[in-house]
Structure 1
Amino acid sequence: MKRLLLLTFLLISLLNAKATSTTALSSGDWNEPALWSNGVPGCFDTIIIPASIQIDVTSTIDLNACPDSMIIFLYGRIEFQNGKKLKLPCNSDIMVFPGGSMGVGSGGGSSTYVEMCSTQYWNASSGDLAGPILLCDGGCPPSQLPIELVSFTADMRSNERVVDLHWVTKSEIDNDYFTVERSADGISWEALYNVDGAGNSSYTIHYSDTDNLPLYGVSYYRLKQTDFNGDFSYSPIVSVQDENINEISLYPNPVIQGGSIVIYLPESFNNVIDLNIYSADGKVVATESFDVVNNNQIIYNVPSHVAAGTYMIKIADENFRIIVQ
């Protein structure tokens, strides 16, 4: 079995290098087309499995004959059933984020494995695979930051809903500024603020700032580093968990048409809840139910037929005003 590269996870801009991407919209079987934004993953695809979503492999997925590489961004979980396998073409990569994992639901042992270019990179006898970790047949090329980043950390203060962000550079070349970005799912990002860089330096520099309004549940952070000429690249991703959820909240708002909303729920919610979206004239335009047992975070994919406008979304017995753009 080839090496597992245990690294501080480097998120690199590979999405644009692939022909298409398909994102898991809910938990379920890999081969169910309705679970995916662009159908069941196939050759050339970039595959995204968001946090809180589990994809079950109930039959062997054999894509080894595809003529080009593939990549999986795993924020949630891939779970293999009864000795099934995942086979990807040469030069593919599987990038497991913090909180992401791969493992066995039933059966397993050495008969359950992940293979790229006909070489095993993981099998179930090794136990669950938990992020951050990279399985690299395509090389998992390093970040192209024009800075030498020593560390980037995010820490939730004790008894406060404030996140302290700290990063250290050892050297910088033409570094104009950093942008601190935040995400609820590690996929869609928003810019929080900019911090001036040092331009050029060959000595250690410490930077720090805070997020005074972190998201409920998990918040992901990364640095976008921008040169004087406008070129940019990204740092490793870090995350924090806010366990003290005492009210329902939604993010983001506004949301783009056909986009996703992350809904955070207090621990007291431990059953099935209903979600309804109402138009300005009081008509129900979308409805869905969620089983939230042992889960205080759900991802709701706004149906594409919900046009741009202002709506009321009702979750359990609470109402929220949302804007679809």
Structure 2
Amino acid sequence: MSRFLIVSFISLLHLTLLGQTTTQNGQWTTNGTWIGGSYPGTLTVNAGDDDLDLNNQTISIDHYVIVGASDDRIDMNFANSNSTGSLTIEDNDTLIVYGDWVFANKSMDLNIGSNSVVIVLGDASFSNKIDIATSGTLVVSGNFNKSGSQGSYSGGGAVYAGSYSGSADSFIPGDTGTGGDQQQTIDDLSDDGFTEIEVFVDDEGSTPLPVELIYFNVNANDNIELMWATASEINNDHFVIQRSEDGITFYEIGKIGGNGDSNETISYTFTDRSPTAPVHYYRLKQVDFDGQFEYLEVKRVATGIKENAIQIKVFPTVVKNAILNYSSNQPIVIREIALVSLSGGEAYDLQGRVERTNALSYSIDVSGIQKGFYLIKITTAENQNMSSRIIIE
């Protein structure tokens, strides 16, 4: 079953990503710039190599960041010509590095937050002065090396590595291979319930991770615009777009096809043209080809509809049992109600098919109407017009 990265492979680590994420693929070049707020400024490195000569700086990873790719490995060599300089890396989200991670001649702090993860698909080598504080997770597919006796390791987060060398055994609590609480091997990932992470690491990052949600935004203009993107997908059949007036009870208003398996960033959009309440809540439901599904984060948006305006809700948007429903927030008189085919323009007068179910709710028998895409149009006695797209199956 797919996972999302607020819900994604990180959820397999029992972590939850916070906020919007942005991918960055291998911009460790001269004047390479982190995008999406992942790094506040420009990284200037020596031309012709991948060393980052950073003195007295803090790099904050506040979004989902990928460095390199499975077929374009990039080593992150943090060098420092100034022996008095220092570097702090604050990982508050997710960092994946396709290559080695080397920190040489640097007084450095690496802080991995409780809802955060770093995956290094290569070796990680830390010099004397490294201080690591992690309540999250650090995964190193190759060798984890610590030189010298300086530096410290604090926090309750674990390190998973292919092997350990140098002073790493004494640096990280727990002995290699003995199942220590914080010093683990890659094979322990599946034992701890992180099987898909272990497969990802064993395949050197070439196997796509489960669906990774980069962002999900909802904006109110003339209509309600929903926008989201994924960094990778596995077995992703489609997304169901759901809406709610109270943030508790959700119903389907649309469906967007997924892209199966992908390792590329893919963007999606959906427009809700018929908001019915001053405030709406939106949720994505991701569905696999085998029917398994997962719900994503909920977004709240003010629609611009006035509190006391007449509001009419038509549901469900996909009619499978020949019964269509509509309800209103106050007693109304419907002057006209019709169904118009979006493929051929054929129209059906539904007025005679309406049956009251209670003071504010009605049902409409649409049996005998050909399957297809339709626009239902409603005009009240107060000359308020509304329309909503539905599908009859």
| TM-score for the superposition, normalised by structure 1 | 0.34
Q: Which protein has greater RCO, CA pairs closer than 8 Å, 6+ apart?
A: 1
Higher alpha-carbon Rg: 2
| TM-score for the superposition, normalised by structure 2 | 0.29
